[in-house]
Amino acid sequence: MKKKQLLATLVMLSLMQGSVYAKDITAETQEEYNAVAANDSLILTGDNNTVNIGAEGANITGDVITAGSGNNNTLTITDSNFNNVYGANDGENAVANAVTINGNSVIGIETEEDEDRGYNYSVIGGQAAANGQSSQNNVVINGGTFEGTVAGGLINLDDENGTGSATNNKVIINGGYFKESDVEQNPTDSIQGGRAVAGDANNNEVYIYGGSFEQHIKGGVSKTGNASQNKVVIGEINDSDNSNDD
């Protein structure tokens, strides 16, 4: 069996068995992505996963990518096209996840599901359950086109009484085009550092070093809870702290 085929087989077995071990996946071509994806999507669970999709000029196309369901997951996408991108999703808490988008990627194609639920998020650093905690998640965007809100940390919006908190999340924009969403969502934001429902959205940050935006930019948003000590900073691209690097 060829090395790439063996790697793909081992990855798929790990996904099907719900392995508790951290996963490290790299796919630089459409063929390599198709080998590890299922129905055009790559959905990982757990913590401490590392996912790298794409390369310069790769133009990989897929549906949804989720790097994990908990904490400390890392996702990097380069010159590729996806509907929805999550550093972490579907776990009780989402802490210290990181998403980086590079090159001419296109993220966020709206669906009927987006219309029905009244919101559309293209990139989320970490999404927690309705009563969970989304904290210390980072999103860095270095270019591309985005339709739908980009958020550092998010609490699941499907439960209007969810008391989960979105705190200390960060979004850094070094470039890109952020299109107005066709979904009639409220608020109509291009960028959110953190978003909660009935819980608090505090101490979230957005840094803008470049890009074009058709909708609002907000440090933190909560529908009925408190939103305080959030900030939006407009700076120069050579300022410090404008990447997900340690």
Residuewise pLDDT in 10s, the chain (246 residues) = 454 544 454 454 444 444 458 999 999 999 999 999 999 999 999 999 999 999 999 999 999 999 999 999 999 999 999 999 999 999 999 999 999 999 999 998 665 554 554 468 899 999 999 999 999 999 999 999 999 899 999 999 989 899 999 999 999 999 999 998 766 655 678 899 999 999 999 999 999 999 999 989 999 999 999 999 999 999 876 554 567 765
Q: Is the dihedral of CA 81, 83, 89, 95 positive or negative?
A: positive
pLDDT on residue 235: 87
Cα–Cα distance for residue pair 74/168, rounded to 1 Å: 17
Contact yes or no for 136/95 (Cβ under 8 A): yes
Contact yes or no for 73/49 (Cβ under 8 A): yes
Q: Is the dihedral of CA 189, 92, 90, 246 positive or negative?
A: positive
Structure tokens at 236: 């120069």
pLDDT on residue 3: 46
Cα–Cα distance for residue pair 158/120, rounded to 1 Å: 12
pLDDT on residue 120: 81
The residue among 52, 151, 152 whose CA lies nearest residue 105 is 52
pLDDT on residue 215: 85
